[in-house]
Structure 1
Amino acid sequence: MKIRILSIACVTTAAALLAACTAVYKNTDACEQLMRSKLAETSADPLKITHAGAGIYGSRVVVEGSIERVAVPASETAEAGAASAPLAASGAPAASAVTAGGAGAAGASDASATALSLKPAKPKKTATPAAAECTFHGPTLDVFNWLAPADLVTASPNATE
């Protein structure tokens, strides 16, 4: 009889501990998904999660990552404008200027050759650090706060300065 009670007590304890452990993972996943959806409301940039940590049985979760933004280099737009300027100054497209001949045709053909030899620069990706905090009461979300970047952080009503 004592063995049966001991076995039931062990199984019950293991089930309770296992349930507490899974709450941590469920809350972490819920916070990650909420962070992605909140970012999607403001920006189409992708979010890369690097770390998610939970404390006190999943009641507080902090998710860290980076927002990857694609930036077009300023030099690319300046070169495109400079290459098209000589063509516009000649008053004729490159093909008709070459067939017409003369000194203006040589300048136009050089400009068109320069424009054709330019390779588009690869867009640079910038990674902006991002972090969010979720506070749960059991499986229910209580509070969601952005910790970084500064443009997503909003002042909470309980903040003291």
Structure 2
Amino acid sequence: MKIRILFIACVTAAALLAGCTTVYKNTDACEQLMRSKLADTSADTLKIAHAGSGINGSRVVVEGSIEHVGVPASVASVASVTKAPLTASGAQAASAALPASAVSVGASGASGASATEALSLKPAKPQKIVTPAAAECTFHGPTLSAFNWLAPANLVTPAANATE
């Protein structure tokens, strides 16, 4: 009698554990698919914050953020000013856009010192732009049936038959 109860308990535990591993496999598959879909569109970095799954892993939602390294606005404005011909008003605009140390170097009459060389004295720190991201995967057992971006808006595709 004890052997039969032990056998039933082992079979039940194995069945429960097999169902749980499906959830983790589907979650990992959705995370990998999200990373590959983002890599197809951009070279930005994806950081996963949370992955949740529904009953038996049939629906998985992965949340995270997309990090994009951008050029600071002050450097971009100086670059556009220095490309333009330097007139009296352009010189005033360039001196307004440059840091105080760069203006003093240019004003002191140092030979060969241009606005870009003055900027190279203090390198600009790139800005990280963080955008929230989320994706949804639908599974039928272990096979993927649908993948949809939920955020950001530029990756979301409108539904084909959306009726309101």
Indicate the TM-score class for this superposition, using the shorter chain for normalisation: 0.7 to 0.9
Deviation at 1:73, TM superposition (A): 1.6
Instruction: Output the TM-score relative to the length of structure 1.
Output: 0.78
What is the CA RMSD across the aligned residues, in angstroms?
2.4
Per-residue deviation, 1:154: 0.5
Mapped partners of 1:145, 1:34: distance in 2? 10
1:43 equivalenced with 2:42 (yes/no): yes
Q: Kindly report structure 1 stretches of 4+ aligned residues shifted beyond 6 Å.
A: none
**Runs of 5+ unmatched residues, structure 2:** 88-106
Unmatched tracts of structure 1, length 5 or more:
87-105
- 1:90-109 alignment, distance < 5 Å: 109=110
What's the CA shift string for 1:53-73, capped at 9, x where partnerless? 011011110000011011112
Give the superposition deviation at 1:26.
Answer: 0.5
Alignment match, 1:56: 55
Distance in 2 (alpha carbons) for counterparts of 1:14 and 1:139: 20
Whole-angstrom distance in 2 between the partners of 1:76 and 1:148? 30
C-alpha distance in 2, partners of 1:160/1:81? 47
Give 1 or 2 for the bigger CA radius of gyration.
Answer: 1
Q: 2:134 aligns with which of 131, 134, 143?
A: 131
Distance in 1, Cα, partners of 2:7 & 2:51: 35
User: Partners in 2 of 1:22 and 1:151 — Cα distance?
Assistant: 33
Deviation of 1:111 (Å): 7.1
Cα shift at 1:122: 0.6
